[in-house]
Amino acid sequence: MDVAIIGAGLAGLTAAYFLTQQGFNCELLEKSQALGGRMATRRHLDIVIDHGAQYFTVKTPAFGAFLREVGVVEAMCPLAAPVVGYPFANFATALAEATRETSDVGSEFPDRYIFRLGMTTLAKAIARQIGEQRIVRQCFVEAIIWDSATRHWTLQTRGDNTTLGGTRQADCVVLALPAPQAAQLLERSQPLPAAITALQTALKGILYHPCLTVIWEASGTGLYPGVGALRATTDTCAIGWLAWLNRLAPERVPPGIDINIAQLTPAASQALLDQPEGLVVQALATALSTDLHITLPTLRWLQIKQWRYANPATTFTDTSVLTAAAEFQLEACGDYFLGGRVEAAFLSGLAAAERLCRRWARSDGSVGPQRGDPGPGSQSQMPPG
Ligand SMILES: Cc1cc2nc3c(=O)[nH]c(=O)nc-3n(C[C@H](O)[C@H](O)[C@H](O)COP(=O)(O)OP(=O)(O)OC[C@H]3O[C@@H](n4cnc5c(N)ncnc54)[C@H](O)[C@@H]3O)c2cc1C
């Protein structure tokens, strides 16, 4: 049973991991060179920087067990330094009021966690387990074409560095992309069966907030020593999250360097999308001055990462369209099923793998259509599409 999984963020990697374990022949197609999607880590001047997700929770036993299984628990460290709410009238008072962020005290993983060497630690560990040969990087999937006669998908790809683009076949496709990108892919794939067009409409209805992340190293001493991050407590601030994660994991930077990471709020990010760097820096300086009464120091360097689809504003609840799409061997997963978090992406990838296993697992332990049976959703059982 050949499964093409589009998108190697945590949802897609998780689906690939569990499906491979169950005997499915998976291929992961990822448009970028790096794995992990919004769990993004980049290296700059020997400094490890998380451009996307900053930390993660482990609230479910399933995620805890998975982290242990793929061998990354040793690489985790708790977000132990205070996260201070702002704006504040008096920093010392705000610091005294800041509590260590914990979830579910008493569980094995009660804190918020980072990976010492960056968020991509998890993606790399999963990739090792499922096998690099199953992953095609720099492979943008343009369209998926359904053949109702053979009940197969053909994927049209661009920029595949192995086959220089072209087509690939699969029995089943898993869309593991942010909902707007999945909807755009289905738009490029028309005409499609009515059930898939209904899924496309539902995906189009899921809105995502953008997020501009600004990262810089300044000369002079760092801001707010001893603090891990500041978090805005009102939506009047333009910076939602201002962090110094290197203070939690000194392995990230050479000694004496403090890296500042500012995530702009959805409203501020929306206003600055596709704007020149100068305007973003100006907005950052204004926000620091207005909200924190800080002057932006002289910068050694600065980077801006623009996430057009950072966090889902709504979640996907219409399971009937998903069930109808499954008749055409199409599945979907991603953080938008459970709400904009790393753990949500994991859980949705796991759920998609479980749905596929339920549909296709044979009683003898192998996977695929039952012998003499063309499989669930075969033409005899299906509405015409
Ligand atoms: C700035 C920022 C801060 C965040 N902070 C936190 C946080 O602190 N804690 C937390 O829990 N969560 C946080 N999140 C959310 C978290 O990162 C996501 O919920 C999670 O990583 C989503 O995983 P995913 O697999 O669903 O999607 P993604 O990670 O987006 O993966 C989708 C993949 O699909 C690929 N792709 C897209 N189109 C195509 C195509 N046509 N062909 C092939 N590949 C394609 C993309 O390149 C990407 O790799 C943050 C997100 C952002 C952006």
Q: How far is the CA of 311 from the centre of ligand 1 (A)?
A: 8
Backbone angles phi, psi at 301, to 5 degrees: -160, 160
Q: Let me know if residue 58 belongs to a domain.
A: no
> What are the angstrom distances between the C-alpha of 2 and each of 169, 329, 367?
8, 11, 10
The per-residue pLDDT of the chain, averaged, comes to 90
Ligand 1 atom, smallest distance to 344 CA:
19
Indicate whether 370 belongs to any domain: yes
Rounded CA-CA distance 256/108 in Å is 33
Check residues 55 and 222 and name the one with the higher pLDDT.
55
* Same-domain check for residues 273 and 129: no
Averaged pLDDT, 348-358: 96
Task: Please indicate, yes or no, whether residues 213 and 307 belong to a single structural domain of this protein.
Answer: yes
Give CA separation, 251 vs 86, 247, 278, 360, in Å.
28, 9, 31, 45
Interval 259-263 mean pLDDT: 94
- CATH code, 360: 3.50.50.60
Q: Are residues 220 and 308 in the same domain?
A: yes
Question: Taking the CA of residue 237 as centre, how many other CA atoms within 13 Å lie in the half-sphere pointing to its CB?
Answer: 21
Residue 57 lies in a domain: no
Q: How far apart are CA 258 and CA 202, in angstroms?
A: 44
Q: Using 50, 70 and 90 to split pLDDT, how confident is the model at 246?
A: confident
Are 282 and 327 contained in the same domain? no
Q: What is the pLDDT of residues 187-201, one digit of tens each?
A: 999 999 999 999 999
Q: Which of 312, 327, 349 is the last residue of a domain?
A: 312
The answer to whether the beta carbons of residues 98 and 82 sit under 8 Å apart is yes
268, 144: one domain: no
- With respect to residue 127, please indicate whether it lies within any of the assigned structural domains: yes
Phi and psi for 123 in degrees, rounded to 5?
Answer: -60, -40
Percent of the chain with pLDDT over 70: 92
pLDDT at 276 over 50: yes
Residue 118 — very low, low, confident or very high, per pLDDT cuts 50/70/90?
very high
Q: What is the pLDDT of residue 162?
A: 54
If asked whether residues 133 and 195 sit together in one domain, one would say yes
Structural domain includes residue 55:
no
CA-based nearest residue to 39, from 57, 56, 53: 53
Ligand 1 atom with minimal separation from the 211 CA: 1
The pLDDT tens digits of the residues spanning 13-54 come to: 999 999 999 999 999 999 999 999 999 999 888 899 999 999
Are 259 and 277 part of one and the same domain? yes
pLDDT over 90 (residue 62):
yes
Structure confidence at residue 161 (pLDDT) = 55
Domain total for the chain?
Answer: 2
- Residue 111 carries which DSSP code? B
Pocket residue to mutate for ligand 1, from 6, 38, 54, most atoms within 8 A of Cβ: 38
> Looking at residue 103, what is its pLDDT?
61
Residue whose entry in the numeric block shows the structure tokens 């970028």: 32
Q: Are residues 214 and 295 in the same domain?
A: yes
Domain stop point among 267, 294, 312:
312
Q: Whose CA is nearest to atom 48 of ligand 1?
A: 37
Q: How far is the CA of 349 from the centre of ligand 1 (A)?
A: 12
Residue nearest to atom 5 of ligand 1 (CA): 53
Do 192 and 124 share a structural domain? yes
Residue 268 or residue 219, greater confidence: 268
| Average pLDDT, integer, range 148-174 | 85
Residues 16 and 143 grouped into a single domain: yes
Range of the domain at 111: 83-116+208-312
15 within domain boundaries: yes
Judge whether residue 377 has pLDDT over 70. Answer: no
Residue 73, judged by CB atoms within 10 A of its CB (0-12, 13-18, 19+), counts as middle
Instruction: Work out the average pLDDT over 240-262.
Output: 89
Question: Cα separation of 352 and 371, whole Å?
Answer: 24
Identify whether residues 26 and 125 lie together within a single domain: yes
Yes or no: say if 75 and 68 are a contact pair by the CB < 8 Å rule. Answer: no
Please compute, for residue 234, the number of CA atoms within 13 A of its CA located in the half-sphere on the CB side: 7
Residue 263 domain-assigned?
yes
Q: Do 189 and 95 fall into the same domain? A: no
Domain annotation covers residue 52: no
Whichever domain contains 283, its CATH number is 3.90.660.10
> Which residue among 312, 334, 360 closes a domain?
312
Q: What is the pLDDT of residue 351?
A: 97
What pLDDT is attached to residue 28?
97
Looking at residues 117-139, what average pLDDT do you find? Answer: 96
For residue 71, pLDDT beyond 80: yes
Probe residue for ligand 1, chosen from 67, 103, 115, 177 as the CB with the greatest number of ligand atoms within 8 Å? 177
